[in-house]
């Protein structure tokens, strides 16, 4: 799974969390996971591509059931202290 994350702020972003949700054609959620870009700073206006692998066992189970992933949704955010 790949996500493009663009920093649309005026500061370097660190600790960006990327959440992935994989769906089938009927909009059924098949798999969800997240990763944090803890060792990466994204400069203002820049875009990075983030890759995350789906565990092979999950892919094998989906294949065994005849389930075909249809689309992926992602969201990226940074938690801020109030």
The pLDDT tens digits along the chain (82 residues) read 899 999 999 999 999 999 999 999 999 999 999 999 989 999 999 999 999 998 899 999 999 999 999 999 999 999 887 6
pLDDT, residue 79, reads 87
> Is the residue at 58 inside a domain?
yes
> Is the residue at 60 inside a domain?
yes
Domain containing 71: what range?
Answer: 2-77
Q: How many CB atoms lie within 10 A of CB 18?
A: 21
The pTM for the full model equals 0.84
| Domains contained in the chain, number | 1
pLDDT, residue 80, reads 80
Report how far residue 14's alpha carbon sits from residue 21's, in angstroms, rounded to the nearest whole number: 22
Checking DSSP bridges between strand 69-77 and strand 13-24, what pairing results, if any? antiparallel
- For residue 74 the two structure tokens come to 């992602």
> Is the residue at 82 inside a domain?
no
pLDDT, residue 82, reads 67
């Amino acid at each position: 799974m790949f996500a493009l994350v663009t920093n649309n702020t005026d500061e370097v972003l660190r600790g960006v969390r990327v959440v992935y949700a994989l769906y089938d054609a009927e909009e059924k959620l098949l798999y969800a996971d997240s990763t944090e870009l803890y060792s990466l700073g994204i400069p203002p206006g820049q875009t990075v591509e983030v890759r995350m692998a789906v565990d092979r066992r999950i892919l094998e189970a989906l294949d065994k059931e005849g389930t075909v992933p249809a689309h992926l949704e992602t969201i990226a955010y940074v938690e801020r202290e109030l």
